[in-house]
Amino acid sequence: MSEAGAGADLGGGNIGLFALAERKLSWIDTRQKQLSQNIANADTPGYRPRDVEPFSSVMNQFDITPARTSPLHLAAFSEHLPGTTRTVGETAPDGNAVSLETEMTKVAQDDTSQQLVNNLWKSYMGMFMTALGKSG
């Protein structure tokens, strides 16, 4: 993946804004595949739902500490936000632990995230086109 693009310096590491959007979309794609497997196996005896590593864990690979440009600003948080842990709730008598409501909620959340990333992508592309003197 190219780190080029809209260079946004996120606390010492240069992660291009477009590269970040691409990573988020790739993560959503991978997660949607896993969630669809969970839903497809909702009636499979003994099946346990799985999930991918939270995106916050993916982002923890980078130093994205906000820059403190003034001593009056609050100090940066040193703790990482806790990742979501997948716990199995109720289990059916056949041992299946898939909750369709939970899985569909996650699918909807990912859809909303995908729309947000796509809208941000379009906005930044529009700004670049304007900066280049092209409209359309």
The pLDDT, as a whole number, for residue 8 is: 42
- Please give the share of the chain, as a percent, with pLDDT higher than 90: 38
The pLDDT, as a whole number, for residue 98 is: 92
What is the distance, to the nearest Å, from the Cα of residue 85 to the centroid of all Cα atoms in its chain?
A: 15
Q: What is the pTM of this model?
A: 0.64
Whether the per-residue pLDDT at 56 is higher than 70: the answer is yes
Mean pLDDT of 58-86: 57
Whether the per-residue pLDDT at 108 is higher than 90: the answer is yes
Rg (alpha carbons) of the chain, rounded to whole number = 19
Q: How far apart are CA 91 and CA 81, in angstroms?
A: 29
Contact 49, 38 (CB under 8 A): yes
Domain-wise residue ranges, the chain: 7-131
Least confident stretch, 14-18, 35-39, 113-117: 14-18
- For 15, the 3-state DSSP assignment is strand
Contact 38, 98 (CB under 8 A): yes
Run of H or E residues at 10: strand 7-10
